[in-house]
Structures are given as C-alpha cells and as structure tokens.
Structure 1
Amino acid sequence: MQFKHPEIFYFLALLIIPILVHLFQLQKFVKVPFTNVAFLQKLILQTRKSSKLKKWLILSTRLLALSAIIFAFTQPYFSNKKASKNQHNFIYLDNSLSTNTKGEKGNLLQISSQEIIETISNKDEFSLLTNNEFYKNISSSELKKVLLNINNTSEKLSIDEVLLKIESNDTNKSKALNKNILISDFQNTYKNNFTNVNSDLSLIKLENALQNNISIDSVFTNENDGNNLTVNINVRNQGEAKENIPIAIYNGQELISKQSFSIEKNTDKIISFSIENKTTFLGKIDLTFNDTFKFDNLFYFTLNKSKKIAVLSIGKPSNYLPKIYQKNEFNFSTSTVKNVNYNAILKQQLIVLNEVEEIPQSLISSLVNFSKNGGNLVVIPNKNINITSYNSFLKNLSVGKILENKKDTLKITDINFKHPLLKNVFLKKVQNFQHPTTQNYYTTVFSNASTIVGLENKSPFIQLIKTTNSNLYFVNSSLEKENSNFTNSPLIVPVFYNIGQQSLKYSKPYYTVGYENKFDINTQLNKDDILSIKGSKKSFIPLQQTLQNKVTLTTKNQPLEAGFYHVLKQKDTLKSIGFNYSKEESNLHFLDTDALANEQKNISTNTSVKAVFTEINKNNKVTWLWQWFLALAIVSLLLEILILKFFKA
C-alpha cells in the first residue's frame, strides 16, 4: 500500500483527545441511602462495570472513525508506481517507406498508429519520434491528433540516432517514470547498434505479410552509335522466381517501348532497351508487379546533352594531353606562357600549367584569381624550375611551398585506390602492375593535401590540395620522357581524365532523395539571380555557390519525393534531374529482435503494439482505497450510535 499524501499521518496525534476525554471521569455517581444496604451495594457494582465497558466501546469506535478519516485523506492506493510521478512514454514510430506495406492486420504504419490511439492511457505523458518529426512532452490527445495524420516519408533515421534521442530525453525526465518503445520493422539494422544501450527498451517488430520483392536497382547507358543509346536496367529479385513480368520505358509520359521478362530466385538481371539519342530524355521505368513494396517499381533518370568542359594547357606542348581531353567531351586548347590570352582564363574549368620553368607575376595573379573563382589547376613543374617563382605562386594560393629538387631514380608504386579521383577506376587492387619511374622529384610541404599516387620512398608523386573554392593538383616531378616514363603508363589516363571530369560536376542520370547530392550548372548569374529546382508538386531553392563560370548546387533535405525535377533560371530550364528513393528501403533483411533480447537484459521484444501498451496500462494502474476508509469511518459512527442507543448500563 502507498499513500499520495503521507504527511497527513501527523494528524494521528489528534487521537490523544478522545483518549484523554474518556480517561477522566467527567460523570460522578451520587450515593443514595436505602434500608437494605446489602442489596444496593451489589447493584452499584454491576452498574459501574456495565458503564465502564460501554465507555471503552464508544472510545474504540471514535478512535476507529477518526483514524479511518485520516487514512482516507492520505489517499492510499495499490500500484507498481507512485501516483505522484508522471508516466512518460517515449515512442519511436518508424514511418519510413518500408513500413508502407501489408502485415497480417493491414498497412503496418496505419495499424500501428490505430492501436496506439486505442490503447494509450489519457493520464500519461508522451514524446513521439518519427523519421521526420519529434514531438516532445505532449498529452495523449495531442498524440492522437498527430497519429491520425502521420504519413510515410523517404527520410530515414538510424538506430544510433534514435538511441541518442532516447538518452537525451531520459536525462531531461530523470524525475519521471520512463518507458522507451521502438516500433519498427528494423530493416537493415545490426546487433552492434544496440551494444551501448543504457536505457530499458521495448522493441515492437512490424512484420510483412509477404517476403517477395522485385525492384529496379540501377540504370546505366551504352552508346551504340551517334543515333541510338542502350538503356540497361538492373532488376533485383528477392524471393521466389518470377515469370512474365511486364516492364516499360517512357520519355516523360510517352511510351517508348515495352517487354516482359522472367527472373530466377534471389538474383539480379539486366533488361535492355534501345532508344533514340536525343538532346534531353526524361526516362521513366515502370515495372508492373504486386509485391511487398510498390515504391521501388518506378525509376526516374534523365539524359542531358552536356556542354563540353573547357581545358587550357599553358606551357610546353604535350602529346598525351590532347589524347586524354578529346573533342567529344572537352574543349581543349594550348598556349605558351608568352602568348596566353588572359581574358580566356576565367572561361575555363581546368588549367594545366605544363612544364613551365618560371611563372610570370601577371600569370600568377590571373591563376590565383581563376582558382578563387572555382577553377581547378594542374601544376606539372619543369625539371629545372625557378623555385622562388613557384613558391610565390603557391604562397598567393596559401597552400604551401616547394623545398628542393632531389635526384633519385624511384618507382611510382603507391596508388591510393580509395581516393575520390580513382574511386571505381579499378575492379580490384593490381598486384603485378608495371610501375613507372622518375629520375628526380620535388619535395614539398602542403596543407590540406592528400596523395593520389606516391613514390616507393613514401613521398608523394601526385597530390590533391584543396583550396577555398577549388582544387590544385600538383605533380611532384617533371613528366618529360627524359625524366619519367609516367606518360607511357596506363595510370595517366584515369588520373588526368578524372581531373578533367571533376572540374565540372555534371549531373548524373539520377540521384537519391535524402542524400547529399552535388552538381554544377554551367551558367553565369548576375548579382541578384538565383537558381531554383521545380518538381511536379513543389519547388525549392537549393544551397548554391556562384562562381565565375558555373554554379554548384547542393541538395540534401529536399526533394523528398521521387520524380523529375528541373533546374530553373527564372523561367528558363537549364537542366532536368531524376530523383529516386533509396534502394536500402527495398531490402528484405531484418534484425532478429528475439536473439537480441536474449543477449541483452534491458531489451524486451513483442510483435503487438496493443499488447505492449495494455501491459503498460496494467502495470501503471492505480487502485484507490480512500473510499473504503471513508466507509469504515461511517460504519464506526453507526456503531457508536447503536451502542449509545441500545447498550443499557
């Protein structure tokens, strides 16, 4: 038994009052003389005994009544918690795309929301965390309103983020009774996410009724000839083999082609379409099949004829650069130091300073200005450079300096396969690579630098130095054939080609919503101009950085819906982009919550939302007892009245 107001027990001291009243003889007996004294003496004794018993009975009933009233005012109750403490339920409700599917009772998200509404206690306090919203310390009525309007979202929260939110909420609710409930399908979640859990967790796993899903994983293109393209669609099947699946390709709303295919159990398959090579193609793939998830049966991509990347080589003519920067993708031009057109520098995306012995001050100023406006630079020094001149150039860029020229024949052995410039270039690490060599190299000290290719003595050979708005690629050795055979190595092609490609981040055929995406728009803006992105339902202004000859756009929190989006400059469409939902949401691998609960004592599991909240309400139920004590006081008063009326002394 517990008491809501135990301080009222101090009033039990008042019980001394009726005790004192009954201990003192306030009523005195008067002696009357009679002739038969012996008889009267016996009667007096019997009356005194009866009167004393009556007094003690009355005292007992009054003490019982007063005690019962005091107990009633303390508000006694039976419960597993203290009535003065608030029950706080922290609920994480997973409303990701993967919960928009059918379970045994219906749609997973809708049924979960409905069962919460039907079973929660109106007296509790709640905090609701979803993938896109957080409602802190709300009442049951407020929670019900939110749940009635909850929808699925493409935004995703990791279990680590959910647990961090729970921990921060627990510290704020240290004086309250907490219950942490995670309602999710626990898709792609692994046990190590729960290794450092300090709070008690109740995991409610939402289970799909179906365990088969077919989805469009990716799209890539091959150019057949100048007039046609092959669109290759990677279809992924999870579950049993499927036959005669219809698939169609559209250009916007226009149907281009349609076919059907069969796919084996738990495999991927490439489906190809041949389309006309157009300037702009708004591709939509529609896969018609009723399975676990519907959102992954549509796929959006765009093909845009991009402007060529402008590359200028200043210095000695070279044989390898024109072969790498070919006319179909690049506008490549060359110039000597003396004949350079300074007005054309800011119109380039990439400038290669090739084998220049000394950099004039006028060229230094132009190149520094070019770099600050977002242009990328490649510096290939001559074997006999003026180090002072080069260091003046590097100092103006605030990147570092050249120390000395070392003569030593070394192999170029270290290839940074994980570097962004070489990512996805090699299928695997090459072990039997025929390493090129160099006869002398420059030692350097650069800040914010990373090595792309290195020498066998661990010195860098090609470095990437990040400046404020651009990249500087520094080759630590002359590439003349008399000094190095690196130009004969197959490694030179992906290095310099990717440097050129990354000088202007063309939009890819498609992007993923909810992830950070960056791409460049080859345009020039006036001072007050901005670019916007417009979809079929919404438009927004992305984060943008305006440089001399391009605008870098960054999207992350928007858009949230798959479809076609268009980059607008006022009313003019500059580029079209396709956005798709994350393919992780199509995965049918889920966490084994029962195994997790067996390993960690502070984690419990269930598959029923209703059962968990019913148990919470049962454990927190308060059975009040003050009515019984009040009834006891009334009974005591009635007993006193009966004793006074019917007990004859």
Structure 2
Amino acid sequence: MQFKHPELLWALLLLLIPIIVHLFQLRRFKKTPFTNVQLLQKVVSQSRKSSTLKKWLLLTTRLLLFTALIIAFAQPFLSNESALQEKETVIYLDNSFSLQAKEDNETLLNKGIQQLIKSLPREKSFTLFTNDRVFRNSKLKDIQNELLGLEHSTNQLQINDIYLKGATYFDAAKPSVKNLIVISDFQERMASKFMDTSNYYQRHHVQLKSGNLENVSLDSVYISSSSPENIELEVLLSTNTDIPDTPVSLFNSEKLIAKTSAQFVNKRASVSFTIPYNSEINGSLEISDSGLSYDNVMYFNMAPKEKINVLAIKQADDNFLSRIFTDDEFIYSSSALNEMDYSAIDRQNIIILNELDAIPASLIAVLQKFKENGGNLLIIPSENTDITSYNALLNGFYKSAFSQKITGENNIVSINFSHPLYENVFDKKVVNFQYPKVSEFYTVTSDAPQMLAFENGAPFLLGLNGFYLFTSPLSEGISNFKNSPLIVPTLYTMGINSLKMANLYEILGQTKTVDLAVSLGKDQIIKLSQNGYEVIPEQKSYTNKTTLKFGSVPTKDGLYSIKEKNRTIKNISFNYPRSESELRFMDLDNLSSTSSSDSINSVFESLEKENRITELWKWFIILALLFLLVEVLIQKIFK
C-alpha cells in the first residue's frame, strides 16, 4: 500500500496523547460506609469491572477511528510499480491496401479505426503514425475526424522500419514507460531481414484478420502484337484461390467497348483484346471480386506516337541508320558536313556524328549547346579521326578523350546488361552469341560507364544520359558490327530514349521521366489534372522538349490529362503497384513482443490494468464511520 500524502501519517503519533491520559488519569474510588454493606459488596465489584472494560473499549474504538481518519487523509492506494511512472504511447496504424480486406462487411482499416476510437483514453496524449501521415502528441478529440477519413496508402512500411520510426517519437531522455502499439494485418512482405533489438520500449502487436482471403487481381496489360490494322492487348490476372473464371471489361473513357471472361489455370489467367491500330484510347480494365478493391481496375492510354527527330551528320554511308530509324517511329534525316544547316540542330532529339574525320569548332559549340538543352548525341569516329578536334568535344562529356589508335583484330565479348540503355532490352543474359569484331579502335579515358567491351576489357561503346561514344568506326572493312544482332537494339534504344514516351501506364511511387515534344515559355507550367484534382510534377523545359519527372506525385491512380493552362497536351495513366494483392501473413509468434493480440480493445484494457491505481481512502472513511457506530453501541450497552 502506498500513500499520496505520506507526511500526514506523522499525525498517528498524536494518538499517544489519549493513551497517556488514560493510563495516568486513573479514577480512584471513594469508599462510603453504610450500616449494612454486606448486601452491596457484590454490586460495587461488578460496577468497577464494567466501568474499566467500557473505558478500554472506548479508548480502542476512538484510537482506531482517528487512525482510520488519518490514513484516509493520507490517501492510500494500491498499484503496480509501473503505474506511478509517466507513460508514452506511440501507435502505428497500417493503412496499406491489404487492409481493404473485409470482415463483417467492413474493411479491416475501418474496423481498426472504430476499435481504436473506442479504446483510446479521451484526455491522454499519444502519437499515431500511418504509412503516410503522422499525428504527434495529439488527443483523440483533435484527430478523430481525420482518423475516420483516413484513406488507404500505396506505401507499406517494413516491420523494422515501423520499429525504428516509432522509436523516434519517444523522448529517450525521459524516464517513462514507453509503449509502441503496432496495428496491422502483418503481411509477409512486411518482414525484415534485420530487426531493431532496442528494449527501452515495449512492443504490442495487434493483428487485424479477415475471414475472407479470396482476391483476384488485374496485374498488367501490354501490347502482345501489332499489325498495320490492329493491336493485340494482353491482360494478365492472378488469384490466390481456386475459382473457374471472372469477367473482364474494357472501357474507353466511360464507354464499354469489349468484355470477355478470364479462365484461371494454376491461379493465373490472361485475356486478349483487339483494338484498331494507332487509335486513341483512354482505357480502363475492370473486374469485380469480394477481396481487395484497389487491384480491380487498371488504367492505360494509347495514342498515335510522336515521331522522334534523328539527324545524322555524315562522312560515311548511312544506309544502316535509315534502316533502323524507320518512318513509322522516327523522322530521320542526314546531311553531309559541308552542307549542314546548323539551325536544324535545335529541332532534333538525337544527333549522330557518323564517322567525321574532324569536327569543326563551330559545330562543337553548337553540339555542346544542343546537349545542354536536353538533346542526345551519338559519336562514331572515322578511320582518319582528328583526335584533337574530337577531344575538344568529348572533354565536355564525362571527361572523355581519345588517346591512340590500336590496330589488330579484337572481338566484342562483353555486354553490360545493368546499363540503363539495355534495361528491358534483353529477356535474359546472352552468353553465347556470335562476337562482332573490329580491326582497329581508339583507346579512351572516360568517367562514363561502358556498355560493350572487347575481350581485353577496353570499351567499344560507352556513355550515359544521352551521350554515347563508339571507339571504333563501323564502316565495312574495319568492323562487322553493322551485321551483328546487337546493333538494332543498341541504336534503336538510343533513339527511343532521346524522347522518352509514356508507357501504356506508369506505376505510382516509381521514379519515371516522360518527355513531351513541346517547348514551354518562361512562365508556363505543366499540370496533371483529373476531375478537378491537380498536381504539378517536377519539370524542365528545353529547346525542343519538356521533361516531366514523376515520383512522389501523383498519389492516386487514374487517367490524367497533361495540361498547359487549359490546353491538353496528352493523357497519361497511373496504377497502384500490385505488391499487396497476395494475401499471405506473418505468424506473430515469430516476432519478439511484449504482447500479441487480435483485438485492439484487449491491448488497451491490458495497459489500463497495468496502469490502474486503486484508491483506498473511501474504505478508511467507511471504517472510521463503523468505529463511530461501535462507540455509540458501547455507550448504549455499558450504561
């Protein structure tokens, strides 16, 4: 038992006073003689004994009464040791898409929020954070409406990230009981290889569970084939349960244009739609199931492709270039060096220096300006390269420079598959192919990464971010690279990357750049617009294009219009990543924690019991009243 005002217990010493008075103020009986006392002797004896007993009983009762009153004013209570310490509570509420799973026709997120509102102490401060929001040192009444309006997030924190982030919200310097309450469905993908082992705070896990774990997901859509008349769209679906089929609908804006049924085999399915070639479609694919809703819609865009401007400045045959940069995707033009119109350079997306013997100083200045304005540059040296003039240009790009010519046959044996140029070009790493070869090349120093290399490790092709450099001429008699299967994906990808078109759709949260073949004025801004919702992406304007960079924006899926003021330039689609569609969950027994539960209420009830203080002063007041009643009874019994 502990006391709120223990200093009042010193008043118990005052109880010695009535004891002393009782002991030293003994009443002496005076004998009164009577003529005949024989009959009274027995009465006197009995009277003295009853008087003494009554006084002792009254003394004891009064001492107990005052003792009870003093203890009551000292306010005694019972509690655990931790109940007297200050408390800090940090709550993580998982609002990822997997919490769209339903239990009793209510999503797990909404159910968790309702339980949290009922369980949280009304007047105590706490910190609550989700995957994308933080409410620091708040009271329930201040954030209740925001909790009720909480939306699902594309992010899903790893379990170790939750621990580390939650620990930052505690005051490490304050001696207090620190409780981190993690409320989630604990998907397997949240598992972390390394776990925070800090033990200065307590972890309480609450796993929200759904009785329905069936889910069908629209995973992706891509162009499987195309012809001059039609395009075949392939749609991939998956499920985590055994179902025979599910309907799939294709919409153009809000108009239903096709519908089919997906037949699942080994929990996978694919369907195809045929649409006219080069048609403009603001499409959406839709399914319906009882599981998660975020993966039931997939948006995509199709529109006539913008053609990419390619200019070759030549002193060698360029037929191989015209065969790669065809009219359906590129506007290819070539010009001899002595006939070059420098004013046409600003309109190009990529310029190819095709085996020039020397590069004039005037052209160097124009090309450097062209590259600064976002253009791409491919350099192919000649057999009679003027190293000095080439180095005047190359030195501005990754400190590159030619050194000397090496003669002798060398095979091109190494492909840097991790280079951004070859991203998504090869289905697998090619290790057995017919090696292209050259009879001469130039040694080069450069900070740019190599893409293709000789067997001695020297680079054959290097570059990055729109700058590419061959170290050998490609003309016949020196190299057979023109006849290699590598030339088409290499040069074609260079051309495609010079104006980065939007894909059928983009994934929210992933960093992606898209180029628009428009040039903006000084005060012009590109916006993304969707039904009144507008965001401004990161953007940079060049002479011949504008580059948009997406990452943190937008945050919602859907069909967006790319606008400059009220003018729609083009449309673009964004979809949520499908990483949460597979409903598999962790076993909480494998996680170190103070407690684990499937109920938010039980966790807070347990914490309340640990913090509960049982006050006893009322019982001592009642006890004092009982002793007062006993005193009255004694007075009545012993008259």
Distance 2:457 2:181 in 1: 53
- Secondary structure at 1:557 match in 2: coil
* Distance of aligned partners of 1:54 and 1:379 in 2 relative to their CA distance in 1, 3 Å threshold: farther
Q: CA deviation at 1:94?
A: 1.8
Residues 103-136 of structure 1, C-alpha deviations (whole Å, 9 max, x = no match): 2573212222222222333354322222232111
Residue in 2 that maps onto 1:534: 529
Distance 1:160 1:32 in 2: 87
1:455 and 2:450 equivalent? Answer: no
Residues 150-192 of structure 1, C-alpha deviations (whole Å, 9 max, x = no match): 3334444343432221121234584332222222222342543
Distance 1:246 1:488 in 2: 47
Residues 220-263 of structure 1, C-alpha deviations (whole Å, 9 max, x = no match): 125543232222212223311313x3322222222222233432
Residue in 2 that maps onto 1:562: 557
1:201 and 2:192 equivalent? Answer: no
* Distance of aligned partners of 1:27 and 1:523 in 2 relative to their CA distance in 1, 3 Å threshold: same
Q: CA deviation at 1:64?
A: 5.5
Task: Report 1:426-437 matches (<5 A).
Answer: 426-437=426-437
Residue in 2 that maps onto 1:475: 470
Which amino acid in structure 2 is aligned with residue 9 of structure 1? P
Residues 358-381 of structure 1, C-alpha deviations (whole Å, 9 max, x = no match): 222111111111111111111222
* Distance of aligned partners of 1:331 and 1:625 in 2 relative to their CA distance in 1, 3 Å threshold: same
Unaligned runs of 5+ in 2: 38-45
Distance 2:577 2:436 in 1: 42
Residue in 1 that maps onto 2:504: 509
Which amino acid in structure 1 is aligned with residue 449 of structure 2? S
Residue in 2 that maps onto 1:585: 580
What RMSD in Å do the two structures reach over aligned CA positions?
A: 3.5
- Say if 2:158 and 2:192, in contact at 8 Å, map to a contact too: no
Residue in 1 that maps onto 2:242: 240
* Distance of aligned partners of 1:49 and 1:383 in 2 relative to their CA distance in 1, 3 Å threshold: farther
Distance 2:58 2:440 in 1: 116
- Secondary structure at 1:370 match in 2: helix
Residues 127-152 of structure 1, C-alpha deviations (whole Å, 9 max, x = no match): 22222321112223335433333333
Residues 471-528 of structure 1, C-alpha deviations (whole Å, 9 max, x = no match): 3112233333333322222112111111111111101111123333321111011111
Residues 418-437 of structure 1, C-alpha deviations (whole Å, 9 max, x = no match): 22211222222222222222
- Say if 2:509 and 2:552, in contact at 8 Å, map to a contact too: yes
Which amino acid in structure 1 is aligned with residue 417 of structure 2? F
1:275 and 2:272 equivalent? Answer: no
- Secondary structure at 1:189 match in 2: helix
Which amino acid in structure 2 is aligned with residue 415 of structure 1? I
- Secondary structure at 2:393 match in 1: helix
- Say if 2:160 and 2:196, in contact at 8 Å, map to a contact too: no
Residue in 1 that maps onto 2:163: 163
Distance 1:482 1:73 in 2: 108
Distance 1:428 1:35 in 2: 129
* Distance of aligned partners of 1:9 and 1:58 in 2 relative to their CA distance in 1, 3 Å threshold: farther
- Secondary structure at 2:394 match in 1: helix
Distance 2:624 2:320 in 1: 106
- Say if 2:527 and 2:534, in contact at 8 Å, map to a contact too: yes
Residue in 1 that maps onto 2:611: 620
Residues 582-633 of structure 1, C-alpha deviations (whole Å, 9 max, x = no match): 2113222222333x24xx3x36432223333332333332211222344445
Which segment is superposed worse, 48-57 or 568-577? 48-57
- Say if 2:527 and 2:563, in contact at 8 Å, map to a contact too: yes
Q: CA deviation at 1:641?
A: 8.2
- Secondary structure at 1:182 match in 2: strand
Which amino acid in structure 1 is aligned with residue 533 of structure 2? K
Q: CA deviation at 1:51?
A: 10
Q: CA deviation at 1:350?
A: 0.8
Residue in 2 that maps onto 1:43: none
Residues 320-352 of structure 1, C-alpha deviations (whole Å, 9 max, x = no match): 222221111111122233322211111111112
Distance 2:163 2:298 in 1: 33
Which segment is superposed worse, 372-381 or 481-490? 481-490
Residue in 1 that maps onto 2:301: 302
Q: CA deviation at 1:541?
A: 1.6
Q: CA deviation at 1:34?
A: 8.8
Which amino acid in structure 2 is aligned with residue 446 of structure 1? S
- Secondary structure at 1:610 match in 2: helix
Residue in 2 that maps onto 1:360: 360
Task: Report 1:23-62 matches (<5 A).
Answer: none
- Say if 1:231 and 1:274, in contact at 8 Å, map to a contact too: yes
Unaligned runs of 5+ in 1: 40-45
Which amino acid in structure 2 is aligned with residue 211 of structure 1? L
1:180 and 2:175 equivalent? Answer: no
Q: CA deviation at 1:459?
A: 2.8
Which amino acid in structure 2 is aligned with residue 457 of structure 1? N
- Say if 1:69 and 1:630, in contact at 8 Å, map to a contact too: yes
- Say if 2:72 and 2:621, in contact at 8 Å, map to a contact too: yes
- Say if 2:231 and 2:275, in contact at 8 Å, map to a contact too: yes
- Decide which of 4, 9, 13 is 2:6's aligned counterpart: 9
Task: Report 1:356-395 matches (<5 A).
Answer: 356-395=356-395
* Distance of aligned partners of 1:237 and 1:156 in 2 relative to their CA distance in 1, 3 Å threshold: same
Residue in 2 that maps onto 1:464: 463
- Secondary structure at 2:579 match in 1: helix
Which segment is superposed worse, 375-384 or 306-315? 375-384
Q: CA deviation at 1:81?
A: 4.9
* Distance of aligned partners of 1:483 and 1:55 in 2 relative to their CA distance in 1, 3 Å threshold: farther
Distance 1:224 1:172 in 2: 62
- Secondary structure at 1:343 match in 2: helix
* Distance of aligned partners of 1:478 and 1:61 in 2 relative to their CA distance in 1, 3 Å threshold: farther
Which amino acid in structure 1 is aligned with residue 221 of structure 2? V
- Say if 1:208 and 1:292, in contact at 8 Å, map to a contact too: no
- Secondary structure at 1:367 match in 2: helix
Distance 1:12 1:224 in 2: 94
- Say if 1:95 and 1:152, in contact at 8 Å, map to a contact too: yes
- Secondary structure at 1:616 match in 2: helix
1:575 and 2:577 equivalent? Answer: no
Residue in 2 that maps onto 1:341: 341
* Distance of aligned partners of 1:455 and 1:66 in 2 relative to their CA distance in 1, 3 Å threshold: farther
* Distance of aligned partners of 1:643 and 1:498 in 2 relative to their CA distance in 1, 3 Å threshold: same
Residues 268-288 of structure 1, C-alpha deviations (whole Å, 9 max, x = no match): 32x11222224421122222x
Q: CA deviation at 1:313?
A: 1.6
- Secondary structure at 2:106 match in 1: coil
- Secondary structure at 1:162 match in 2: helix
- Say if 1:284 and 1:298, in contact at 8 Å, map to a contact too: yes
Task: Report 1:98-109 matches (<5 A).
Answer: 98-104=98-104, 106-109=106-109
Which segment is superposed worse, 224-233 or 389-398? 389-398
Distance 1:130 1:301 in 2: 30
* Distance of aligned partners of 1:20 and 1:622 in 2 relative to their CA distance in 1, 3 Å threshold: closer
- Say if 1:314 and 1:351, in contact at 8 Å, map to a contact too: yes
Q: State, as a whole percentage, how many aligned pairs show the same letter.
A: 34
- Say if 1:188 and 1:591, in contact at 8 Å, map to a contact too: yes
* Distance of aligned partners of 1:30 and 1:527 in 2 relative to their CA distance in 1, 3 Å threshold: closer
- Secondary structure at 1:231 match in 2: strand
Distance 2:428 2:556 in 1: 36
Which amino acid in structure 1 is aligned with residue 328 of structure 2? N
Task: Report 1:293-332 matches (<5 A).
Answer: 293-317=292-316, 318-332=318-332
